[in-house]
Structure 1
Amino acid sequence: MNSAFCYETNIGKIGIVENGSFITHVYFGESTPQDANITETPLLKKASKQLQEYLEGKRKIFNLPLAPKGTEFQEKVWRALQEIPYGKTYSYKDIAKSIGNIKASRAVGMANNKNPILIFIPCHRIIGTSGKLVGYAGGLDVKEKLLEMEAIF
């Protein structure tokens, strides 16, 4: 059974979901899956603590069990996103190149858009080839704030 809990952060409310062993989703706002128990488990507390530390500039690497579910291609992209170092940005093309498919920039963008574990899988570190900010589930203002916090923008 999934458990979920919402936390107040300096970028707004964030809901975190776990399946008993792994973090499976992060949501902006108070939305959580209808089938989830709304309870703060030890894993959710740990995730919240690491998220708060990150947002306070005290943490650069997350140490959490993550289990995003998607297609084989999406999961490959999400693994590549986790390799982007704190304080760096990559383009869709950079990720496409890193997964061995230079022509997959558009597909990388779609996979990035479907990332179910925002922030912990740092899709906010993806910018356009021109250096401009591109879409983000939490809004471009949140993306800009995260990048500024990492001293990228």
Structure 2
Amino acid sequence: MPSPFDAVLEAPFGKLGVRVAEGALRELVYLPESTPLVDSSDALIARLARQLEAYYSDPRATFDIPLAPAGTDFQHRVWRAISAIPCGSVITYGTIAQQIGSVPRAVGQACGDNWFPILIPCHRVVSASGIGGFSHHTDGYLLNIKHWLLRHEGVMLI
């Protein structure tokens, strides 16, 4: 059975499924360590892999990958606010909600719906009482990935 991804890349916390379309990144998906790798000769995927490797070496590395349009206007407002959070910092769902005139739960849903994790760093958004959820989960390997990303960026949470 063929992979549903154009590539599956190795990551220090597991794997990343990659989908591209028409010269842009369409989606990044966190996958468990047990997921088989999928190679690709696509130039955009190779560029993304290099930039991800740079990030794994230095969390202050930046990305310049073209992103395919995705999401609602509200999600874009949330994702712009998330993109403004500097590496090594976190902000609460409630703070973003205040910034954009919304409520924390809606911000959390938009974070969980992020098509471009790491590039749009939703892992930097936490709850007022702790780390919060991640990709619509509150436990398991996805939350472990959020812990890894925050530790990698020098943020120490519970």
Tell me which interval the TM-score lies in, with the shorter structure as reference length: 0.7 to 0.9
Q: Residue in 2 aligned with 1:8?
A: 10
CA shift, 1:120, in A, is: 0.9
User: How many residues are paired up?
Assistant: 144
Q: For residues 1-153 of structure 1, what are the structure 2 equivalents within 5 Å?
A: 4-29=6-31, 30=35, 39-57=40-58, 59-99=60-100, 101=101, 103-130=102-129, 132-137=130-135, 139-153=142-156
TM-score, structure 2 normalization: 0.81
CA distance in 2, matches of 1:94, 1:62: 25
Q: Mind listing any 5+ residue stretches in structure 1 that lack a counterpart?
A: 32-37
Q: Residue 80 of structure 1 aligns to a residue in which SS?
A: helix
Structure 1 stretches of 4+ moved >6 Å = none
1:13-49 CA distances to partner (integer Å, 9 max, x unpaired)?
1111111222120012249xxxxxx733111111111
1:121-141 CA distances to partner (integer Å, 9 max, x unpaired)?
1000011112x1111135111
More displaced 10-residue stretch of structure 1: 108-117 or 53-62? 53-62
1:87-141 CA distances to partner (integer Å, 9 max, x unpaired)?
1101111211222x0x4211111111111111111000011112x1111135111
How large is the Cα RMSD of the aligned pairs? 2.3
CA shift, 1:82, in A, is: 1.1
Q: Mind listing any 5+ residue stretches in structure 2 that lack a counterpart?
A: 136-140
CA distance in 2, matches of 1:71, 1:58: 28
TM-score, structure 1 normalization: 0.84
Conserved 8 A contact 1:128-1:134: yes
CA distance in 2, matches of 1:113, 1:79: 14
What amino acid maps onto 1:149 in structure 2?
H
Q: Closer, same or farther in 2 for the Cα pair 1:58/1:78, shift >3 Å?
A: closer
The percentage of aligned residue pairs carrying the same residue is 34
Q: Closer, same or farther in 2 for the Cα pair 1:11/1:92, shift >3 Å?
A: same
Q: Closer, same or farther in 2 for the Cα pair 1:55/1:68, shift >3 Å?
A: farther
Q: Residue 71 of structure 2 aligns to a residue in which SS?
A: coil
CA distance in 2, matches of 1:79, 1:94: 14
